[in-house]
Amino acid sequence: MRTRTLSTALLSISAAGMAACGSADSSSTAGGSTGNQGTTASATSSSVKFAMVVTGSKMTPTDKLSATQGQTIVLSFTTDKDEEIHLHGFDYKFDCKAGVAQSMTFAADRTGAFEIEIESTSTHLGELDVNPS
Ligand SMILES: [Cu+2]
């Protein structure tokens, strides 16, 4: 089979190239949906949205994203050049093309501080904090 070029959508949800950055965030509980704690009404109703801009090695408007467990996170990155942004813990990759927002929606189903980096250069951009609900 042939290699596909520009498989933006596919790559962004691919869990294939894992641990390329070599840092050990083993905080991910694979497949663990034991989120039965705190049965508050409308637990999963809220969502939070982050539109991040990456210029060089800097992420704006903040390098500290904060969410609460159970929320739906809508996260997008717009980079100044073609590069892959890696969200650790959740292990999501955003295959960004310069100037084009790459967005992903996912559930904040775990807590912790998760690093965000430019994968190819292991450049630390910031982190996503998911706080217990
Ligand atoms: Cu990484």
> What is the CA(82)–ligand 1 centre distance, in A?
16
pLDDT for 7:
41
The CATH superfamily of 2-131 is Cupredoxins -  blue copper proteins (2.60.40.420)
> What is the CA(81)–ligand 1 centre distance, in A?
17
Give every CB contact of residue 22 below 8 A, 6+ residues apart in sequence.
122
pLDDT for 45:
63
Q: Which pLDDT tens digit goes with each residue over 2-43?
A: 544 444 333 333 434 444 575 545 444 444 444 444 444 444
pLDDT for 22:
55
pLDDT for 18:
45
Give every CB contact of residue 61 below 8 A, 6+ residues apart in sequence.
52, 53
Q: Which pLDDT tens digit goes with each residue over 41-95?
A: 444 469 999 999 999 999 999 999 999 999 999 999 999 999 999 999 999 999 9
pLDDT for 43:
47
Confirm if 48 and 70 have CB atoms less than 8 A apart.
Answer: no
Domain boundaries, the chain: 2-131
> What is the CA(74)–ligand 1 centre distance, in A?
19
> What is the CA(39)–ligand 1 centre distance, in A?
33
